[in-house]
Structure formats: C-alpha cells, structure tokens
C-alpha cells in the first residue's frame, strides 16, 4: 500500500483532533481544562518555572499565572520563589497533583485505543512518532 505524505498528514491531523477531544473529556472529568492538564503534565516533566510552562503551552506568561493560580487553589501545584532569583517562580506538583496526573495518564491508552495495538505495532508507531517529533 502506498500512502502519500499528504495522506499521512491528514491522518495525523485527525488523530490530533481525537487526542484533543479525548484530553478535553478526561480533563473535564477531573474538574480541569485541557490547558490546566497540559500545565500539570509539563510541570511533572521538569518544566518547573512559569516561563518554561508558558513556552511549552505556547501562551503568554501572563496567561500561565491564571492557570497556575487555579491549580494552586485546587491544591494540585505549589509555587515558590526561586532562592537564586526572586523574580522566578518554581512550580511543583503536590501529592494530589501527582495522583490526578497519574489517573489521567493511565486512562489515555484505552481512551485513544493504544491498548488495541499489538506490541510490534506499538513499537513501530512509537519509533515513527519519535522520528517525526525530532523534525
């Protein structure tokens, strides 16, 4: 079977749409917005300053302040002054934040259908997606 780059892009866009929709449903089921869930995910992956989170979420730092304010109220994130630079705020997930993120991460494979793939299919897709991510 021959598949053009355009066909592949069409399928990737459809998958992205499904991913965003699923992520929105899962976030909502935990009382979060998709962007708040994205912030949790990025903080957990080492992006622990307001500036880094803003960059990863592709939004202005002023928007991140509101997102982090809400996550702090929900007791999912803590925010501290950086001892080296008081202008910088460092972020950490709380125990509750880790729990919510772990629940979401465990739901996504079945919600996206990844659990229907064979081990070989998962490896093949994983390697292909990783290669596309490096572009």
Query: What is d(CA 123, CA 79) in angstroms, rounded to the nearest whole number?
Result: 38
Please report which residue ranges of 4-76 form alpha helices under DSSP H: 5-29, 34-44, 50-57, 61-73
Domain that holds residue 115: 33-133
pTM for this entry: 0.85
Which CATH number is 63's domain given?
1.10.10.10
- pLDDT tens-digit profile of 67-99? 999 999 999 999 988 788 878 888 999 999 999
In a domain, 18, yes or no: no
Token pair for residue 125?
């897709």
Residue 113 lies in a domain: yes
User: So what's the pLDDT on residue 114?
Assistant: 93
Nearest to 100 by CA among 126, 79, 74: 74
Q: What is the pLDDT of residue 73?
A: 96
Does 54 reside within a domain?
yes
User: Does residue 88 sit within a domain?
Assistant: yes
Task: Please state, in angstroms and rounded to a whole number, the distance separating the CA atoms of residues 25 and 56.
Answer: 21
Q: What is the pLDDT of residue 87?
A: 81
Domain count for the chain: 1
> Does residue 13 belong to any structural domain of this protein?
no
Neighbours of 60 (CB within 10 A): 9
135, pLDDT greater than 80: no
CA distance 81 to 48: 12
Residue 5 included in any domain: no
Tell me whether residue 124 is in a domain.
yes
pLDDT tens, residue by residue, 14-37: 999 999 999 999 999 999 999 999
Residue 122, domain member (yes or no): yes
Residue 103 pLDDT more than 80? yes
């Amino acid at each position: 079977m021959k598949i053009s780059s355009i066909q592949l892009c069409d399928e990737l866009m459809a998958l992205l749409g499904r991913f965003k929709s699923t992520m929105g449903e899962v976030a909502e089921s935990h009382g979060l917005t998709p962007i708040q869930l994205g912030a949790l995910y990025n903080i957990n992956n080492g992006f622990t300053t307001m500036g880094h989170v803003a960059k990863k979420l592709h939004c202005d730092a002023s928007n991140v302040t509101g997102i982090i304010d809400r996550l702090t109220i929900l007791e999912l994130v803590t925010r501290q002054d950086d001892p080296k630079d008081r202008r910088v705020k460092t972020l950490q997930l709380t125990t509750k934040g880790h729990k919510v993120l772990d629940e979401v991460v465990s739901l996504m494979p079945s919600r996206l259908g990844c659990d229907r793939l064979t081990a070989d299919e998962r490896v093949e897709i994983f390697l292909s997606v990783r290669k596309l991510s490096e572009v």
